[in-house]
Structure 1
């Protein structure tokens, strides 16, 4: 842990003052750097979430970072989908009417590949599919994009951390350039994040949520970032996170989610966050200059 971590307790004591006098965007972006803008499930305000179309739309908007969610099928394939049920974002209920509640883990990859994952969003996207993880990273490579990958519901899928890392490795995503600046693996599960760090210490990791400031010293051992909901943030909390060095010897970062309006984007940028996760990356980029 870096010596700057000593400042964490002082930052906490100054929390009230920081709330009254938030940092300006210019101050937050020291050296002229603005927060990174990350397309949440792809550019999901403009194309069906977690599909290749959403990746393409983010690329069209000039967005370099894309966030996604990974889960596992019954036959052990990794697919990119947010919910543990197929019902909301596919026509699984229509295609497989007798298989409620349509959990991802109860379907094979071939069955999921039959589903329409785009019509719910709009006719223009009819026939879009739930991509596999390897298909998803191939599309990112085509656009030279970067990936913030969330391991979703890890308790449902024992061993998914190792399997995710294997797929990434097989697709060339664990080489030095990717590890240095094109990949972050995150989860709401601290155990899952810790496992990823143990298996592949060179991979950058992030813990989703807003753990108490008193626990940050513990998470700094295996997480490079703390990624909270924007509604839970304060300038004091952001400063506290950034006062610790993560496992790779650099200050921990904060990516705030999910910000979809200019006013909120400017507010959290003023707190000094390092990134903003959004369904509307073009709007947020315009607001904060990311």
Structure 2
């Protein structure tokens, strides 16, 4: 699957665009607006990285969701952003003597006891930190597509192999599902490993390599996904001018854009996707762009 998002403008703005296969050489900028990706799910409207957040994205009409994957003490892959449980769960109350409450220091059973919703709103009390397996089941149930981030891989040796294995076990490495999956990381080594393990997986590097450095990333990443504040039309064009591992132009997903003016500006740069906590706001902005 190639990372360049291509669809009719109306479908893309609605968040229903499909990423074509590596055989496709079409470009988003040629045919439509950027695809909208719900960051940690629709995280402005439900607790981030929970099943509720991806359900909310689906209710809003968005098919692409983004998440973060880390690993428990006993080797379970779980979906959570921070390397500590402190911000998004009640771990301080449940395990007061276990500071600094690192994900890697708790078993899956211990994490399953935590409330991952009350911090956001009483309406979400009792929401749990999902395992990646349960999360993938819900993504499949919702007919969604996933931008999966391997988070803090330096803390979890072998997490790339484990993630790829789980994706395979859950049926996400067949041709049908590969068109609905991107794996990304801030670690170039992690993304290189994923590419070497399963070259058919579309990969993305989170960051802003210099134009001179792009050739170093091209052998193993299909996208370069920078913070929107680091972008310019010139940089996006430079990324698009480099071919990735599937011999197609590199794509660009910008993060994290949460207001209409920024969404319109970044779309004008020619990016292929916009990652946002407020996908409905971005969709409306792009519709009027």
Q: Alpha carbon RMSD of aligned pairs, Å?
A: 1.1
> What SS does structure 2 have at the residue aligned with 1:147?
strand
Separation (CA, whole Å) in 1 of partners of 2:155 and 2:282: 34
Separation (CA, whole Å) in 2 of partners of 1:246 and 1:137: 27
Separation (CA, whole Å) in 1 of partners of 2:31 and 2:199: 31
Q: Which moved more, 1:136-145 or 1:80-89?
A: 136-145
- Unaligned segments of structure 2, at least 5 residues: 1-26
Higher relative CO (CA 8 A, sep ≥ 6), structure 1 or 2? 1
Aligned residue in 2 for 1:271: 269
Conserved? CA contact 2:40–2:67, under 8 Å? yes
Separation (CA, whole Å) in 1 of partners of 2:63 and 2:242: 27
Aligned residue in 2 for 1:24: none
- Unaligned segments of structure 1, at least 5 residues: 1-27
- Counting matched residue pairs gives 262
Q: Which moved more, 1:209-218 or 1:84-93?
A: 209-218
Aligned residue in 2 for 1:236: 234
> What SS does structure 2 have at the residue aligned with 1:253?
coil
Matched, 1:254 2:285: no
Query: Deviation per CA, 1:147-194, whole angstroms, max 9, x where unpaired?
Result: 000000000000000000011100000111111x20000000000000
Larger radius of gyration: 1
Structure 2 counterpart of 1:204, from 202, 205, 208: 202
Separation (CA, whole Å) in 2 of partners of 1:205 and 1:39: 18
TM-score normalised by L of structure 1: 0.89
Aligned residue in 1 for 2:20: none
Aligned residue in 2 for 1:114: 113
Give the C-alpha shift of residue 249 in structure 1: 1.7
Aligned residue in 1 for 2:17: none
Separation (CA, whole Å) in 2 of partners of 1:32 and 1:176: 24
Separation (CA, whole Å) in 2 of partners of 1:218 and 1:29: 24
TM-score normalised by L of structure 2: 0.89
Separation (CA, whole Å) in 1 of partners of 2:113 and 2:232: 45
> What SS does structure 1 have at the residue aligned with 2:252?
strand
Separation (CA, whole Å) in 2 of partners of 1:201 and 1:146: 19
Separation (CA, whole Å) in 1 of partners of 2:164 and 2:235: 31
Query: Deviation per CA, 1:13-70, whole angstroms, max 9, x where unpaired?
Result: xxxxxxxxxxxxxxx9644411000000000000000000000000000101000000
Separation (CA, whole Å) in 1 of partners of 2:225 and 2:44: 21
